[in-house]
Amino acid sequence: MKFKNTSEFQSKIKRIIITEEEIQQKIKEAGKYIDSLYDGKPILLVSILKGSFVFLADLARAVSVPCEVGFMAAKSYYESTQSSGIVKITMDLERDISECHVIIVEDIIDTGRTLNDVVKLLNARNPLSLRVVTLLDKPERRIVPFKADYSLFTIPDYFVIGYGLDYGEYFRNLPYIAEYTD
């Protein structure tokens, strides 16, 4: 997908669902929640790339407990608005997590397949604790039973873009969450 100009790019934004201000407020609340759970104990925030990198950056700044950052990449969407149903780990953590309190930072839980597979993989590595914090949760789309430990927003079954979420690698730079229109 290529855009000829900004107008064509913006024509794909149907409407803003969650504003930048609403996102930032919920991130502050999530940071306080994480601080209360760990009470100064170091944590490892694991971003599932690419969609959660923006969320991870803001969440890391919202916590006051010591934290490290790690990255994994898992794909289930391939140039489409529908899940392929196949989850592939394309980049793994480069460290032992057996002495870490791990928080997986996810952009959106849709079918649950991706997070289910990532959680199984990381649990097998025996972290001190493992939790999932997600920016968006779409429970209507769940195929695999999965529930995050903390969700900032629950949304209906819209295809959404912005704040790290993309369509065809575009729209990640939007500071809000919007519904995409074809």
In terms of Cβ atoms closer than 10 Å to its own Cβ (0-12, 13-18, 19+), residue 90 is exposed
Confirm whether 110 is a catalytic residue: yes
Give start and end residues of each alpha helix (H) in the chain.
Answer: 6-10, 20-38, 53-62, 113-123
Length of the chain (residues): 182
Enumerate residues 6+ apart whose C-beta is below 8 A from 81: 159, 167, 180, 182
Which residue is catalytic, options 35, 96, 107, 110? 110
Residue with tokens 């790690």: 70
Catalytic residue numbers, as ranges: 110
